[in-house]
Each structure stands twice: as C-alpha cells, then as structure tokens.
Structure 1
Amino acid sequence: MPSTRPTRVLIIGYVWPEPRSSAAGGHMMQIIESFLQQGWHITFSSPAGIGEHKADLATLGIDEVSIALNNSSFDTFITELAPDIVLFDRFMMEEQFGWRVEKHCPQALRVLETSDLQSLRDARQQQLKARLKLDADTDDFSSLFAPAQRETFEQMAVTDLAQREIAAIYRCDLNLMISEYEIDLLVEHFKVPRALLHWCPLMVDSVPGQFVPFDQRQHFLSIGNFRHAPNWDAVLWMKTAIWPLIRQQLPTAQLHVYGAYTPPKATALHNPAQGFHVLNWAEDALEVMSNARICMAPLRFGAGIKGKIADAMLCGTPNVTTPVGAEGMHGDLPWAGAIEQSASAIAAAAVQLYQSPDAWHQAQQHGTALLAQRYLQSTHGPALVECIEACRAGLQQHRRNNFTGAMLRHHQHKSTQYMSQWIEAKNRTV
C-alpha cells in the first residue's frame, strides 16, 4: 500500500516571515500558500528572534519550531520530522544546515529560496559607493544602471559573497529565482544549469477592477523596510536631490515616507516645512498606497524584484523608479509609470505624472496588465508545485546531472560540519 501521509515540508527561515514589513516576507507567505493549497504539512523553523510584525503561522496550521545554530539538537529534530522537502530561506541557512539535512534526510528535496541575489545587490552597492566617492555631487547614474551582464559578472565573481552564494545554489536541487534577469546572469555567466533554477516571482491573488480615482488622491509616497540598505539609500537620495526639485515645481507637495523598523537617522529627516514626512510603519500598506497619487522608488542599487512596486500596481498607483527598480519586473510590457536615471529626470517624470490625469491613467492600465500577465498566484503557485514534484520524481538522475553540486557538497559540507562541531564543543566548555 502506498503511503497516504501528506507531503512534509520543513522551511528553515533566516528570519520569521513578516509579510507586512518586507517583500521577502510576503514572498515567503505566497510560497507557503501554494504549499498549503496542496494539503502539504508545513513546519517553519528559524534560529532568529521573533520580530514585532511576525506572521501568525499557527492559525494557518503551520508548526513553529525554534532551532539553534551549531547545535546537534537539530539533528534529532529533523530525523524525527523526516521531511520530504526542505526549503532554505536564503543561502546562509543552506550553509548552516545543509550538511545536517543531507546527512540525516538524504532523500529530502533541497530547495533554496534565494529572495534575491545578495551578491548582486552587494556588488551594486560597492559600485555606487565608488561612484559617489569619485563625484559626490553627481546627478546622473546611468553608468551604474546600464552595465553589460559580463561586467556585472566580473565584479561579482571575485567576491567572497558571490562564491558562497553561487556554491549554495549549486548544492541545492532547486533554486527559486524571483527575477528573470538573475536567472540569465546565473546561466550565461556563472554557468549554473538552468534545470536548477525556477522562476517564482511575487504573486497576487487577483487584479482589482476598481481603484481610488485620480482626483481623490494626493501626495507622493515611498515605502520600504529601513533595514534594507537600498531603501535607506533611496530615501537619502530623495531627501537631498530629488524632493527639492519636485518642490520647486510643486511648492505644496508632500512626500510621505513609510518603513518598518525606522531608525533615528531616518526620523531625523522628518521636516514638515519641506513637505518631507517620515511616518514610520504603515499599519495597512495597501491602504496608504491606494490613497497616494504617485509611488516613488528611486533605487540606486539592489537586486530581485520590488514588492513596493508590485503593491503600487495592485493599488493602481503609478510609480517612478530607476532601471534597478524596474529590473526583472515587466519583460517586454510597458512600464506602470516612469523609469529614469537621474535625480532631475525622476523629479520631472514624477511631477508630470502627478499633474496629468491622462498619463496617470495610462500608467495605471499598464500596471494592471503587468499583474495579469506576469504575477498571478493561479499561474505561479501550480507551476512551482509542478516543478518541485518533477524534481522529486526524478531526483536521483537530477542529482547525477549536477556533478558540480555534488562535488561542492562533498567538500563544503565537510568543512562546515567540522567548524560547526568545533563551535558546539567550544560552547559546551564556556
């Protein structure tokens, strides 16, 4: 008789998911929902502390288990759980726990939720720092926004972070990629087999048919977790360069800046006289987005795709962003607002959209079309499950085809295992 037990999934989270604080948290909950729709039994574990905006997983029937780094208690836990699928939330969790999973549950499918390529984001941040060091007063960042992928690869490839992250990708059976740009970068330049990568973007349940009208909206809006470095940099750029240009043309305009975990350095930027309002965390991000006229997302570096922009489209709110902000989000379809490369061009586009009902409505329609064609849960949820099931069905051959991954697991897991065991032994003697 075949087993009738439901498929067991263990998720090892870098943090506990906070869908209202970050796009990464929202994406994790979308993946979880896709699994729940299959009737799979999910256990979510993490070595992190509990954040103030953590999702209530228990109400969804998900078991919550706190785990410890460098501690053999995890071995007993995973052996007893015997999961069929283990999903690592970001590559650092694969580094920490991958060797333990392979040792105690060798037949479990190992999946990595990359969230975005952190080594890509870090390389771009270093490029920005170098550009600002060369010319702190520059207005045009087109040289940062349009490098060839080969140039980006060469800057990433020499970094420790990229070597660690790409190694983790090779060691896993399947990697969930949120951006098609990143898939192309991995396949064409890092030579990662395409069979190891699955496009799994942000997902929406449906596309709204009605929005708050243009003439009932007011103000510009920016939103994003302040712990995410690209968001903080974007706020600084708006404060120092972009917003003054907008206020020159719209003297009574207001910008409302929302973000989880607002630090004192951000609060210090609050200046109502300049129309620059730092308003901390939004209790309902979609509500404030729906009542804003323009979403500002002037990201000078970053990776993946942007939750704030997907939310803007979901609320019918045109956005103004950069090539980094729009990367991987629209394919060949028209953009839901404007994509610009300098402070002056961003300000001009924002003012034009703010004042023109025709341009504003056209951008809104583009956003609706984007969501319908690229982001529906009804498309991507089943595709994710189908890909996972196909990998499980042919796992033995799938792993034989990935010799580089097997080689990296053999060497990396040994060194990681011995380091972890040394730390655990050391901790017992303290």
Structure 2
Amino acid sequence: MQNILVIGYVWPEPRSSAAGSRMMELLELFRAQGWHVTFASAAALSEHRADLTALGIAEVQIALNCDSFDQWLAELQPDMVLFDRFFTEEQFAWRVERACPEAMRVLDTCDLHSLREARHHLLKATQQACSNEADKQSVDAVTAGADQLFEVMANSDTAKREVAAIFRSDLSLMISGFEMQLLQQAFSVPATLLHDCALMLIPSASKPAPFAERAHFISIGNFRHAPNWDSVLWLKHALWPLVRQRLPHAQLHVYGAYPPPKATALHNPKQGFHVLGWADDAHQVMGQARICLAPLRFGAGIKGKLADAMACGTPSITTVIGSEGMHGDLPWGGAVVDCAANFVDAAVALYEDENRWLQAQEQGAAILQQRFDRQRLGSELINRLAQLSENLDSHRRDNFIGGMLRHHTLKSTQYMSQWIAAKNQSAN
C-alpha cells in the first residue's frame, strides 16, 4: 500500500482529547512507512487542531452529501481508506466502495459508542430514582456486567448502527480487550474483523518529579466528552468534599478543553476546587500533581488521561470503567475502586503515603512498557494490514454478513444522501 486516505469525523486535536492523540499516532505510523497520507474531513477547522502539513500529510476539506467527493476520490484512488468512527463510515463508505471498490476499508472505532451510551443509560436510570440532586450526584459508577450491558445495547439504535459498520468494514481497530470480547461473544462479530490496536506508548518523562516536590490533585479531560463532565460533577458534589474533610488544605485542579459556563461556575477556591480549563501542556501540569483523579461513572475505551498520568509518573485513582482494557493482570498504578467511600480512602492514603505512592508509580510504568509498546503495536498493525491486503477478496467473501449489510443498508444510506444532494442542488 502506498496511498492512504483518512476521513476524520473532526480534525485531530492531540492536546484536547485521547481520540486526537490516537489519530495522530496512526497518521505518524502510516507516514513512517513512507506512505502518502491524505486527511479529509467535513468538520469546520478547529482552534486546537494539529498541523498535519508539517508531517507531510495533505489536508482536504470535503462536503457531506455531495458528489464532488466521489469525483475527487476517483482521482485520488487510495489503496486504503480509514474511517474515523462509525458514523463517518455510514456517511462515506458507500461512496468509497462505488468509486474505489478495491480499496481496503478500515474502521477506527475509538471506543464502542454504544457501550458508553448503554452505561450512561444505566447511570441515568439509577439517578432518576433519587429524590434530589445531591443524591443523584452521589450515585456510584456503573458496574453492570456483559450480560446486562448486552440487554441494554441490543435495543439500541446506536449499537445496531455501530455493529453494522463493523461488519461492513474489512477491519475494525479496537482499543479495549473488553470491547473485543463483548463484540465477539454477545454480537457474534468474527475475530477476523477485529484488530487490537490500543493507544500506543506515550513518551515518559525522563525524570519524573519526586513525591516531595509534588502537590495537589489533578483531574483532566475534554469537557465536551460526557463521561468527563459527569466525573467533574461527581467530584464536585460528592467525592471532593469528603477528601477535603480529611485533607483540609488539599487542592484539586480541574483541566480540560472547551469548558462551558456551567463548568467554570463550579470554580470555588475556598473549597479547594479550581476549574482551570485549557492546559497548554497537559504533561507539565500532570507531572506537577501528586495524584490524578479520574472518577468515571460511565464510558468506554481506553482513557488517555490515565495513560498520560502513567507517563508522567503520577499515580491515579479511578473506577473499574476507567481502568478497563488498560492493565490486564498487572496491578494498577494507583487504585481501582467501585464506590465513593473506597475512592476517597484510596485518594487520601495514596496522597499521604510516599512508599505506597512510589510503588504505584512503578506499577504505572510497568503497564505502559508491557501493554502500550509503540513499536510492537505499530508493527502488528502494519503486518495485519499487509496480510489483509494480500487476501482481501477471500476475506470479503468469507464475511457474508458484511456483504449482505453493504448490499441493503448502504443502499438506503446512498439513496438518502443522493436525495439530500439533489435537494441542495435545487435549492441553489
């Protein structure tokens, strides 16, 4: 393969989100093979987007529901098209198949959106039974197992769309072993359609700051991502007041891109709760903090903030959902808890105990080295793509369900898109 097209849902912002960092890792990996890479998106140009041209990557703005994309694609003739999330596959895959039928179609799921949505549904269902807002914000993280999650997801339009996109694609890149297992066991997705491609190793700080030179707690995450905003609410209303009772002088610094007014309104220095918004250098502020707090009550995929914490030598306290898919059988670099009381106990103990803190730091470094090795993960992905390219015809023949879904589902998507395009033309 020499010519790669990536169709992005948004322009990559590696300093704003884990999804942006992951996209940059993939783009850099493809460029390292000597491949010509084009990144196209229908999204508006964003303030914090990466400069792809500096990496030798062509940037192209495209339009939704417009035949101009087909004409441009026919001229580009990519060997592989990577779709950034399932809704991008829905919008463009039928056009790719029509203009470039021999091009390999790869879906980067980022995380299972339908899994995140199912957990959010379960959290809200529990909160609805509460009589007041304080009780709602005191509800613990979702702990539903695979069977209960499937019951919710099976009735979800998002799950049906997302799993259909996975079947239609030649390969889907996954970042969580739990999600791969769920897809195979609950949704009967063949292993041949999935590839374990976790976030790759983040460069570690050469010499992390020692325990004595660090202070305060940190929480970080893009405010536009619903699980991050929910974790801030849980911290503000339930967790942080309990921490402050035991550590009266403790400070929590909350960082994240795109903080809305409702987030900045939570800023209260008297409570030690500082909403600081955008961080120019996430690793710098993470490396100055003693503990990273990531109380995620719902979500999916791998959490970039926790990988960043490990890279900076900063132990973290999170939930089972937060650590999911990241550490396997290795001990966590901090603590994984399942309720508010345990979260607070772990945060206080780790903040005050240097020996425990140093052990957690070492455990985080071991997770990065053993499970997020950039060279190994990159080589495995390139080899998998090469094997798939050599056997693409037989691979597609064996994926009958995917072919069937492309025949039926994409026809309806195609006709809807063509109807919108015709409507837009007549309006002009």
Secondary structure of residue in 1 paired with 2:166: helix
Q: Unpaired runs of 5+ in structure 2?
A: none
Match of 2:184 among 183, 187, 192: 187
Question: What is aligned with 2:366?
Answer: 369
1:124 aligns with 2:119: yes
Paired with 1:350 and 1:201, the residues of 2 have a C-alpha distance of 27
Q: 286, 291, 299: which one pairs with 1:289? A: 286
Q: 2:275 aligns with which of 254, 275, 278?
A: 278
Aligned to 2:235: 238
- Aligned mates of 2:41, 2:335 — CA distance in 1: 39
In structure 1, the partner of 2:334 is 337
In structure 2, how many angstroms separate the alpha carbons of the residues matched to 1:228 and 1:78?
Answer: 32
Match of 1:41 among 36, 39, 54: 36
Matched, 1:65 2:64: no
Return the offset for 1:207.
4.3
1:134 is aligned to: 129
For the residue of structure 1 that corresponds to 2:292, the secondary structure is strand
- CA separation of 1:110 and 1:159: change in aligned 2, threshold 3 A: same
**Residue correspondence of structure 1 range 77-92 to structure 2 within 5 A:** 77-92=72-87
Unaligned runs of 5+ residues in structure 1 are 1-5
Give, in whole Å, the separation in 1 of the partners of 2:295 and 2:139. Answer: 12
More displaced stretch, 127-136 vs 38-47: 127-136
The Cα offsets for residues 243-289 of structure 1, whole Å up to 9 and x where unpaired, read as 00000001111000001001000000000010000001000000000
Match for residue 9 of structure 1? 4
| Separation in 2, partners of 1:94, 1:9 | 15
The alignment's TM-score, normalised by the length of structure 2, stands at 0.97
Q: Distance in 1 between matches of 2:338 and 2:242?
A: 15
The CA distance in 2 between the partners of 1:68 and 1:382, in whole Å, is 34
Report the residue type matching 1:46 in the other structure: S
What's the secondary structure of 1:30's corresponding residue? Answer: helix
Measure, in 2, the Cα distance between the counterparts of 1:77 and 1:169. Answer: 25
Confirm or deny: 8 A CA contact 1:222 1:296 kept in the other structure: yes
Q: Does 1:105 find its partner at 2:104?
A: no
Give the conservation status (yes or no) of the 8 Å contact 1:43–1:62. yes
Matched, 1:359 2:387: no
Q: What is the alpha-carbon distance in structure 1 between the residues aligned to residue 22 and residue 47 of structure 2?
A: 18
Q: How many residues align?
A: 423
Aligned mates of 2:188, 2:117 — CA distance in 1: 20
Report the Cα distance in structure 2 between the residues aligned to 1:322 and 1:340, rounded to whole angstroms: 5
Amino acid at match of 2:187: F
Match of 2:109 in 1: 114
Q: Deviations over 1:55-85 (max 9, x none)?
A: 0000000000000000000001110000000
How far, CA to CA, are the matches of 2:150 and 2:384 in structure 1? 28
The aligned counterpart of 1:210 is 207
What is the alpha-carbon distance in structure 2 between the residues aligned to residue 78 and residue 290 of structure 1? 44
**In the alignment, what sits opposite 2:384?**
387
Report deviation, 1:375: 0.4
Distance 2:174 2:129 in 1: 34
Shift >3 Å, 4+ stretches: 205-209
Match of 1:3 in 2: none
Distance in 1 separating the partners of 2:272 and 2:214: 16
Name the SS of the counterpart of 1:353 in structure 2: helix
The CA distance in 1 between the partners of 2:202 and 2:212, in whole Å, is 27
Q: Distance in 1 between matches of 2:228 and 2:189?
A: 29
Would you say 1:247 and 2:244 are equivalent positions?
A: yes
Kept in 2, the 8 Å contact 1:260–1:281? The answer is yes
Q: Does 1:314 align with 2:288?
A: no
Deviations along 1:7-59, whole A, 9 cap, x unmatched? Answer: 10000000000000000000011111111111010000000001110000000
Secondary structure, in 3 states, of the residue corresponding to 2:309? helix
User: Shift of residue 205 of structure 1?
Assistant: 5.2
Q: 2: distance between equivalents of 1:302 and 1:206? A: 25
The CA distance in 2 between the partners of 1:9 and 1:240, in whole Å, is 47
* Aligned residue in 2 for 1:155: 152
Q: Distance in 1 between matches of 2:183 and 2:339?
A: 29
Letter in 2 for 1:198: H
Where 1:53 maps in the other structure, the secondary structure is coil
Q: What letter corresponds to residue 322 of structure 1 in structure 2?
A: T
What's 2:321 paired with?
A: 324
Q: Normalising by structure 1, what TM-score?
A: 0.97
The letter for the 2-side match of 1:63 is A
Deviations 1:80-137 (A, max 9, x none): 0000000000000100000000001000000000000000001110100001111352
Cα separation, 1, equivalents of 2:388 and 2:11: 27
Deviation at 1:206, TM superposition (A): 4.4
SS at match of 1:414: helix
Amino acid at match of 1:154: E
Matched with 2:20 is 25
Secondary structure of the residue that 1:279 maps to in structure 2? Answer: strand
2:424 — aligned with what? 427
Letter of the 1:224 partner, please give it: G
In structure 1, give the amino acid aligned to 2:50.
Answer: A
Aligned-pair CA distance for 1:219: 0.4
Which amino acid in the other structure matches residue 417 of structure 1?
Q
Helix, strand or coil at the partner of 1:366: helix
Amino acid at match of 1:89: D
Q: Does 1:404 align with 2:405?
A: no
3-state SS, counterpart of residue 203 of structure 1: coil
Contact 2:126 2:139 in 1 (8 A): no
1:205 & 1:148 partners in 2: Cα distance?
30
CA change 1:206–1:258 in 2 (3 A) is closer
